[in-house]
Amino acid sequence: MTDPASHTSFIEPILVFCGAAAVAVPLFRRIGLGSIIGYLVAGVVIGPWGLQLVSEPEAIRGVAEFGVVLLLFIIGLELKVSSLWSMRRDIFGLGAAQLLLCGAALAAGAWFVGYGPKEATVAGMALGLSATAIALGILGERGETRAPYGQRTFAVLLFQDLSIVPILAIVPLMANVTSPETHAMSAQLMSIGMALGGILLIVLVGRYLLNPIFRILAASGAREVMTAAALLVALGAAVLMEHVGLSMAMGAFLAGVLLAESNFRHQLEADIEPFRGLLLGLFFMSVGMSINLGLVGENALPLALAAIAMVAVKIGLVSGLARASGSPWRDSLRIGALLATAGEFAFVLFPTAQGLGLLTPDHAQMLISLAALSMLLAPIAAKAIDAALLRRPVADGDVDASDLDNGETASGGVIVIGFGRFGQVVNQVLLAGNADVTVIDHNVERIRQASSFGFKVFYGDGARTDVLHAAGAGRAAVLCICVDHAETATLIAELAHAEFPHARTIVRAIDREHAIALMKLPVDYQIRDTFKSALSLGRATLETLGMDFEQAETVEEDVRKRDVARLVLQSEQGFMSGLELLHGSSIRPEPLSRPRKRSRALNAETRGLLDASDADDDWGAGDDPSLLGSRGSLGI
């Protein structure tokens, strides 16, 4: 039998993390410092140097790093290979210059304060890197991941991830490893070969297997299977890259890029987002817990000065590089602030260097504390710089990147939810009118059809707010709801009003009851998908019988006006209101014009049905008239 204590020991840390996040994050967001600083401070408070509610931050960080992995996977989903290729100059130009210049400057600073040459070199390499999770987290909070300065920041971070392998190779060589030179060279070649082989394997699987597999899983209709598959792809690629010597984040990013062209990418993003958010918050708290408050207290002034100096130097150097390579000053300062932290890799490299004898235990602990303090200080600096830039008017020629559109769905575009028979006709009209159209549907075959028309297509459930956000509903001017089920259409209309009040909503009403329900919601326009076509068919029939066009059109317009008037009364006073507009008895279906003569059956079977119907019509005061809504009203 399972020991109950084992369950308790597992649940208690979860309760601590959830409670700390629930208190700290809203508080820090309320005072304007953002959720990342809230997580960091929460980690300090609950960690071994605070309230000691959690005693092993290192073990927790191992799990929490998967938050960074999933973050890079989602970033990869938003970058097509062509977009990545267009960033090559920033990746290998600005990225390389940043790492070399910042690393050299910080190494010189470490040597100046008394570190040996090898210690200073290790410190410069580790502190020259930046925290991917913090930089991308701040960009995500601002909604500017795709802004020009956000793209350049990401390019530098991507180069830093690529540089981890050579840094890990250099550190043992600095420790005077006694292996023969030829053996060391062959080992390095083997590591490079394994890394290239791992990348090639991910590329081949992503190119030829992932889309067919996800198509099969989507056809099964089991949403939880898609979620499991998304986690399998992201975490599987991460683990593979770790085994071949690259970072887990790099593997997840590659998998995301290879799925960026897939029709399923926005559903995958929506499925993974909750896990990413929770694990990333846990990662930030683990960083806060790693700050040794005892050591910080003993060396408060030197550590504080070192952290301030490091952040200031990195902001200055990176901003200068960004400006020299073409960014406006405003964007350059933002890039510098986002890259001012030490990287997550410092928590790996400093203990490794200590184990190889390159760092003394005291120096290793000081550098780890410095890295953690920079992660606490740099977001505050980034917030202050951004606030100052927002208060300062934009100078001529200095374009504010936050004013640029950074979404996939253009501002003023249309999102059509549902690509069935109704939605396809709607999209044809929009296509003819040169509208910017994005289609959401959860049917694989419909998504294929939509892509053949040239629309931007998202596989996903349009009744989920995360899918709508991922598809760009926050920037769309119109949400056109064309799904086949009344309940789903009503739910989406309610979500649209709550989440995207700026967007106008146009809804397909399935039948009369649905139209009445929609009239009680703040939708901008609705239409019953069979009503106008039925009126047109009725008019055409009258013309075929010999009625002239003008008279048939008058009859059609009369029926339409009667219906609209009755629909308004039904929405205001109940479903049985407006019967006087029918000028006839209550029969099913309810005629909009007075019957001129009594109907008669043409065979025995019909006569039996009518007799039974007449008996049912004799309902009294005890009967429920609302039943006529589903049985007796015009279902158009």
pLDDT along the chain (636 residues), means of 10: 52 79 81 74 81 70 70 72 76 89 92 87 89 80 75 87 74 61 56 74 78 77 75 81 73 76 70 74 76 77 89 92 87 89 79 81 84 83 79 47 40 81 85 83 73 71 78 85 86 86 87 80 82 83 87 83 75 60 48 56 57 48 34 37
Residue 407 has what pLDDT? 39
Place of tokens 């593979």: 240
Burial classification of residue 88, based on how many CB atoms lie within 10 Å of its CB (0-12 exposed, 13-18 middle, 19 or more buried): exposed
Provide the β-strand partners of residue 257.
none
Where residue 291 falls (left for φ over 0; alpha for ψ -120 to 50; beta otherwise) is beta
Q: Cα separation of 134 and 374, whole Å?
A: 11
Q: Cα separation of 2 and 213, whole Å?
A: 38
Q: Cα separation of 238 and 73, whole Å?
A: 9
- 605-619 burial, b at 16+ Cβ within 10 Å, e below that, comes to eeeeeeeeeeeeeee
Question: In angstroms, what CA-CA distances link 192 with 122, 249, 284?
Answer: 22, 18, 31
Q: Whose CA is closest to 173, among 362, 365, 361, 353? A: 353
Residue 572 has what pLDDT? 66
Sign of the CA dihedral with 232 first, then 193, 191, and 94 last: negative
H helices, E strands: number in the chain: 28, 6
Provide the β-strand partners of residue 415.
438, 479
Q: Cα separation of 473 and 479, whole Å?
A: 7
Q: Cα separation of 195 and 519, whole Å?
A: 60
What contacts 24+ positions apart, CB below 8 Å, involve 589-592? 589/632, 589/633, 589/634, 589/635, 590/632, 590/633, 590/634, 592/559, 592/562, 592/563, 592/566, 592/634
Helix extents (H) in 356-420: 361-391
Q: Cα separation of 218 and 230, whole Å?
A: 12
* Alpha carbon 166 to its chain's center: 32
Provide the β-strand partners of residue 458.
440
Q: Residue 354 in contact with residue 122, Cβ under 8 Å?
A: no
Residue intervals in the chain for CATH 1.20.1530.20: 8-395
Question: In angstroms, what CA-CA distances link 531 with 150, 165, 369?
Answer: 49, 66, 70
Q: Whose CA is closest to 318, among 340, 343, 345, 342? A: 340
Q: Residue 126 in contact with residue 354, Cβ under 8 Å?
A: no
Q: Cα separation of 128 and 125, whole Å?
A: 5
- How large is the greatest C-alpha to C-alpha distance in the chain, in angstroms? 109
3-state secondary structure of 301: helix
Helix extents (H) in 209-299: 210-220, 223-243, 248-258, 265-289, 293-298
CATH for 414-529? 3.40.50.720
Q: How does DSSP classify residue 478?
A: E
The bridge status of strand 437-441 relative to strand 456-459 is parallel
Q: Cα separation of 210 and 38, whole Å?
A: 38
Residue 584 has what pLDDT? 43
Q: Residue 503 in contact with residue 478, Cβ under 8 Å?
A: yes
Residue 100 has what pLDDT? 92
Q: Residue 441 in contact with residue 492, Cβ under 8 Å?
A: no
Q: Residue 184 in contact with residue 173, Cβ under 8 Å?
A: yes
Q: Cα separation of 279 and 382, whole Å?
A: 23
Q: Cα separation of 260 and 272, whole Å?
A: 15
Residue 630 has what pLDDT? 33
Residue 34 has what pLDDT? 67
CATH for 8-395? 1.20.1530.20
Q: How does DSSP classify residue 415?
A: E
Q: Whose CA is closest to 573, among 630, 625, 621? A: 625
Token readout for 227 is 């979620």
Place of tokens 């397909």: 508
Where residue 407 falls (left for φ over 0; alpha for ψ -120 to 50; beta otherwise) is beta
For residue 589, whether the previous peptide bond is cis, meaning omega lies within 30 degrees of 0, is yes
Q: Cα separation of 294 and 418, whole Å?
A: 59
Residues 6+ apart with CB under 8 A from 360: 119, 354
Where residue 472 falls (left for φ over 0; alpha for ψ -120 to 50; beta otherwise) is left
Q: Residue 126 in contact with residue 367, Cβ under 8 Å?
A: yes
Q: Residue 276 in contact with residue 225, Cβ under 8 Å?
A: no
Token readout for 501 is 């009040």
